[in-house]
Amino acid sequence: MSEHNAIISIRNLNKQFVLSKRLFSRKKSVVNAVHDFSMDVYEGEVVGLIGESGSGKTTLARILLGLTEADEGSIRIDGTELTNAGRKQLREIRSRCAVVFQDPAANLNPRQTVESSITRPLVITGVPRREAKRKAAEALREVQMDESYLFSYPHQLSGGQQQRIAIARALVMRPKIMILDEPTSALDISVQAQVLNLLLDLQEEYSLTYLIVTHDLSVIRYVSDRIAVMYMGRLVEYGTTEDIINNSLHPYTKILINSVPVLDPEHRNNEKAMFSGEPGETPEKLAACRLAQRCPYAMQQCFEGTPPMQEVTPGHFAECFLLSDRR
Amino acid sequence: METVDIGKALLQLENLSIDYRINTGMLSAVHNVNLTLRHGEIYALVGESGCGKSTIAHNVMRLSIDHNEVINGRIIFEGQDITSIPEPEMEKIRGKKIGMIFQNPLDSLNPVYRSGTQVTEALMLDGMSKKEAVLRTIELFRDVQIPNPEQRIAAFPHELSGGMRQRVMIAMMLARNPSLLIADEPTTALDVTVEAQILRIMKRLQQKFRTGILLITHNFGIVAEIADRIGIMYAGEIVEEGTVFDIFKNPVHPYSRALLSTLPRYHKSLRRIAAIDGNVPRITEKRAECRFRNRCPYSSEDERCATQSPNAVSFGSGHIVRCHRAEEDRV
Amino acid sequence: MSKKEKRKLFLYSYLKNRNLMLGTVIVLAVVLIALFSDWIAPYNFDDANLAPKFTRPCAEFPFGTDEFGRDMFSRVIYGSRIALRVAVLAMLIEIVLGVSIGLLSGYYGGNLDRVLSFLSDLTWSMPPIIMSMAVITVLGKSIDNVIIAIAVVSWAQYARVVRAKTQSLKNMAFVETGIAFNEKDISIMSFYILPNIIPPIIVLASLSIPSTIMSTTALSFLGLGAQPPSPDWGLALSSSMSHIATAPWLAIFPGIALVLTVFGFNLFGEGLRDLLDPRLKSR
């Protein structure tokens, strides 16, 4: 992958969680939440990171935010190395990288007014209070809310409004990058559209870089320039939205796209390729394709080694043994 | 396209209204709902949170007796009005004739019993011997495509994945062979690849056993996938009802139209999705007005929206719309 | 719901709860009596020989007099001051100690949590009255040492509640967002977590007051707390023991005062819990 103007650059990232299996047993089971993960995000683009439960997408987002420490690998965010960063570097990275989480109600401190929530990131970096308040009012306008909401408490707002406030708080620091963890999946459909449109408007206006982490393919294809597909800790396919939706290469991506219900009853009886099992069924060996157990096309090879990541067409990457023949 | 043989009425709601006494007055959760679900039909009640769809499901099942609840109208199941029958009678219907599956199957399975035992118990209630019941359980597990059913019947609910638990729930419901299955957001907590499997199972049940399914959901995708008829709910009322094709191809009510257009289906370079401004209201005061009025783009053009409740207008063969604007274009 | 509506709803459920109302009235009465003892009591608590000793309750001395001819009515009134002072001071020390330990323990986790949890489990597992007696034996007999003894014994209940709440709150999105924009740990704890655990602390505090009053009384009764001529209720009960057959009023009136106060605080605490808890759940 080319290194130029990558604002987030992840190389060979690993993160394991150790779970002790039984109360009185020393045998420990290990979950490879993120496994040998490499990816670049370019400045000003919207990248959707899609995966099902247990894919490690949330762990990856938490590592990028410095909430969880990685075991191995390197992450450069806007030129600063995140792994092993000291307090100062971490502060620098965090001032450029803002976050909005999924649950609108949990996103805001129930005991803080809207104004206090939004001004807080500014106040702690030493911005004078009056200046911070002015910027808070401005941020509120940017998320299309009336200034009168400044003095409300979160429980007085609807889910969509709470999510707008969370976006305003992220925006007020003028970050370059926003990490959005399922930003709309807790919202009603009519409100989801409002928030997605708002996010797109803001991204265009400030040429922000978005990394959107989600399980919802219909949302991601609507907002993303590029899509990264994650399965059990590994990046299995990465390419433009067009590449992924219309020319997907990896069997997992294909079936994932196939599984999403089509919003047209006329296509309802199309026979679909389906997985037999569920995510989380691990192969015995770490060095095997993670999907081998569930994949309808699995070959002997798949159980014996990890398939290499290949650039099949320019900018379209996938890791699957089936692709080796096509090159 | 296969045609599902749809029979006579299984469940009918007649002018059903449900209100709750709250500290500051009355909350109208469901208002004048009329609905007919036939044998072997999948009827989807679709709407956003707080529209009353789950309230209806819970009341058909009469899951809890809430003294702050006021029910008007009738719920007719297999020709019998079940709104006023005594609790012991209801117990014979609940579980036996009407089954229900929930969003979170972990909450509805008993964590201290093995998953197979819970199904076996249900079968033994109907007078089956233990041995027969276990064999039947294995068969049911196979019906809902649980791999290795002989082993899985010994698993505790927490040892199963979300999709497997939902299958066990469905198997448990099937055990009593109900004529009506109420599915309250059955796949919302599941991953899409698993959702697809569960939907396929539900579709098979409907075809194989002619089970009527009342599907409660906010997800238009699964509606398009398996529903025969749809009722779109807004603020406690069914604002539009019709076949899945009526609603997806020819929605009439402004809310249905707006809702369908908010679904993200395009790439962003093509266009922005339409959004509906505002939020779903809580109705604490029944007025003669259209409940969608404050969010409707057309309400300013028509004074009836503020002064009269819209009547149900028929657009032919079961396509019904409650909107003043629709009255003029009546077919 | 608007702020005004919410306040109205709160007031409404407050007034509807009869036990809470009764509790509030009793608690308020005790607090007022304690604050204005000097005005209410006709005599000072150690004015002796006002009347012949062991005068029966009469119009001038409604609760009678004791073996030194002191007015029991005045002594019972002044006794409320001691009971409340001990209860409030002990509670404050417990809260400061318990909340800070609970916050640190819950927020940092790891070895610090292990040590602090062990400490709180240890104090929790000891019979409180024996523990307090041990503390007083070390520090010496006085009412101020009773406060310390009670606080040392009872902080653990706050620490446990606060620790559990902190653990669940620290994974909430708003706390993590705070960390992600560089809040210091101390601000996370004081600004994000603490305000959200105040309601359970209030409930716990109001529920622990009656037991604190009982412990104080018990220690004074055993001669470890208040010393003569203090009008402490526990002390009054213990010195009335030897005259119980001839002058039962010496035991009855301090006893009634004690029971009423404890009863009132219990009603108040339980009512407050019922009122605050559903609001906690809905959040």
- Are residue B87 and residue B124 in the same domain, yes or no? no
- Let me know if residue C224 belongs to a domain: yes
Domain that holds residue B137: 107-177
Task: Single out the residue of A103, A27, A104, A99 nearest to residue A68, CA to CA.
Answer: A99
- Let me know if residue C72 belongs to a domain: yes
- Are residue B198 and residue B58 in the same domain, yes or no? yes
> Which tokens in the block code for residue A218?
């219909």
> What gap in Å lies between CA B274 and CA B280, rounded to an integer?
17
Q: pLDDT digit of tens for each residue in chain A (327 aa)?
A: 444 578 999 999 999 887 755 555 555 667 788 988 999 999 999 999 998 887 889 899 999 988 888 899 999 998 888 888 888 888 888 888 899 988 888 889 988 899 999 999 999 888 999 999 999 999 999 998 888 889 988 988 888 889 999 999 999 988 999 999 988 888 888 888 888 889 999 999 999 999 999 988 888 888 899 999 999 889 999 999 989 988 999 999 988 888 888 888 887 766 666 666 666 555 556 678 888 878 888 888 888 888 888 889 998 999 988 887 654
A260 interaction partners in chain B (CB closer than 8 Å): 192, 221
Which residue shows structure tokens 């009341």?
A: B59
Lowest-confidence pick of A73-77, B76-80, B292-296 = B292-296
Does the CB of A255 have a partner CB in chain B at under 8 Å?
yes
Which residues 51-80 of A have a C-beta within 8 angstroms of B?
52-53
- Let me know if residue C201 belongs to a domain: yes
> Which tokens in the block code for residue A10?
């992840």
Among the partner-chain residues B1, B195, B279, the one whose CB lies closest to the CB of A259 is B195
Nearest residue of A to residue C3 by CA position? A156
Nearest residue of A to residue C195 by CA position? A111
pLDDT given at position A4: 54
pLDDT given at position A2: 43
Q: C115, exposed or middle or buried, with CB in 10 Å at 0-12, 13-18, 19+?
A: exposed
How many angstroms away from the CA of B37 is the closest CA of chain C?
35
**Chain A, chain C: beta-carbon pairs less than 8 Å apart:** 64
C2 interaction partners in chain B (CB closer than 8 Å): none
How many angstroms away from the CA of C9 is the closest CA of chain B?
7
Residue A119 in contact with residue A129, Cβ under 8 Å? yes
- Are residue B47 and residue B151 in the same domain, yes or no? no
- Are residue B184 and residue B229 in the same domain, yes or no? yes
Burial C137-165 (b: 16+ CB within 10 A, else e): eeeebebebbbbbbbbbbbbbbbbbbbeb
- Give Rg (Cα) of chain A: 21
- Are residue B260 and residue B234 in the same domain, yes or no? yes
pLDDT given at position B247: 92
Residue B170's pLDDT band (boundaries 50, 70, 90)?
A: confident
Which residue shows structure tokens 């602390």?
A: C201
Nearest residue of B to residue C9 by CA position? B23
Q: Is the pLDDT of residue B290 over 80?
A: yes
How many angstroms away from the CA of A277 is the closest CA of chain B?
8
Question: Cβ of B220 and A263 within 8 Å?
Answer: yes
- Let me know if residue B244 belongs to a domain: yes
- Are residue B165 and residue B186 in the same domain, yes or no? no
Question: Cβ of B277 and A194 within 8 Å?
Answer: yes
pLDDT given at position C104: 95
Nearest residue of C to residue B24 by CA position? C9
Those chains having 3 or more beta-carbon pairs within 8 angstroms of chain A are: B, C
3-state helix, strand, coil in chain A (%, to 5): 35, 25, 40
Give φ, ψ of A170 to 5 degrees: -70, -35
Contacts with A41 (C-beta within 8 Å, 6 or more apart), sequence order: A6, A7, A8, A9, A47, A209, A211
Does the CB of A119 have a partner CB in chain C at under 8 Å?
no
- Let me know if residue B190 belongs to a domain: yes
> What gap in Å lies between CA C174 and CA A108, rounded to an integer?
5
- Let me know if residue C57 belongs to a domain: no
- Let me know if residue B326 belongs to a domain: no
Which of B252, B280, B308 lies at the terminal end of a domain, its last residue?
B280
The CATH code of the domain that includes B69 is 3.40.50.300
pLDDT given at position B14: 92
Dihedral (Cα; A150, A151, A156, A157), 10-degree rounding: 0
Residue B43 in contact with residue B213, Cβ under 8 Å? yes
ipTM for the complex shown: 0.81
> What gap in Å lies between CA A280 and CA A277, rounded to an integer?
9
How many angstroms away from the CA of C17 is the closest CA of chain B?
14
Question: Cβ of A197 and B225 within 8 Å?
Answer: no
- Are residue B192 and residue B261 in the same domain, yes or no? yes
Q: Is the pLDDT of residue B214 over 70?
A: yes
pLDDT given at position A306: 86
Those chains having 3 or more beta-carbon pairs within 8 angstroms of chain B are: A, C
Does the CB of B296 have a partner CB in chain A at under 8 Å?
no
Which of B127, B152, B177 lies at the terminal end of a domain, its last residue?
B177
- Let me know if residue B160 belongs to a domain: yes
Among the partner-chain residues A98, A107, A155, the one whose CB lies closest to the CB of C174 is A107
A280 interaction partners in chain B (CB closer than 8 Å): 161
How many angstroms away from the CA of B127 is the closest CA of chain A?
34
- Are residue B75 and residue B190 in the same domain, yes or no? yes
Question: Cβ of C178 and A106 within 8 Å?
Answer: no
Does the CB of B263 have a partner CB in chain A at under 8 Å?
yes
pLDDT in tens, B6-26: 567 899 999 999 998 887 778
Total domains, chain C: 1
C12 interaction partners in chain B (CB closer than 8 Å): 23
> What gap in Å lies between CA A295 and CA A321, rounded to an integer?
12
The CATH code of the domain that includes C26 is 1.10.3720.10
pLDDT given at position A267: 78
- Let me know if residue C56 belongs to a domain: no
Which residue shows structure tokens 């396919």?
A: A237
pLDDT in tens, C228-252: 888 999 998 988 888 888 888 889 9
Domain that holds residue C88: 3-41+62-280
Q: Which of B158, B187, B192, B272 to mutate to test the interface with A (most CBs of A within 10 A)?
A: B192
Nearest residue of A to residue B249 by CA position? A264
E strand residue ranges, A132-183: 177-181
How many CA atoms lie less than 13 Å away from A254 in the CB half-sphere? 15
If interface means Cβ-Cβ distance under 8 Å, which residues of chain C face chain B?
5, 9, 12-13
- Are residue B111 and residue B93 in the same domain, yes or no? no
B281 interaction partners in chain A (CB closer than 8 Å): none
How many angstroms away from the CA of C177 is the closest CA of chain A?
7
- Give this prediction's pTM: 0.82
> Which tokens in the block code for residue A72?
């191995």
What one-letter code names the amino acid at A235? L
Per this entry, what is the length of chain A?
Answer: 327
Residue B2's pLDDT band (boundaries 50, 70, 90)?
A: very low
Does the CB of B244 have a partner CB in chain A at under 8 Å?
yes
Which residue shows structure tokens 């929605």?
A: B251
- Are residue B155 and residue B221 in the same domain, yes or no? no
Which of B177, B207, B232 lies at the terminal end of a domain, its last residue?
B177
Three-state DSSP at A314 gives coil
- Let me know if residue B117 belongs to a domain: yes
Question: Cβ of A259 and B276 within 8 Å?
Answer: no
What one-letter code names the amino acid at B285? E
Q: Give mean pLDDT in consecutive 10-residue pieces for chain C, a chain of 283 residues.
A: 64 75 92 92 85 84 87 92 92 94 93 93 86 90 90 91 93 89 89 90 88 90 88 90 88 93 91 69 35
Total domains, chain B: 2
- Let me know if residue C46 belongs to a domain: no
- Let me know if residue C49 belongs to a domain: no
- Let me know if residue C204 belongs to a domain: yes
Among the partner-chain residues A66, A98, A101, the one whose CB lies closest to the CB of C173 is A101
Contacts with C44 (C-beta within 8 Å, 6 or more apart), sequence order: C74
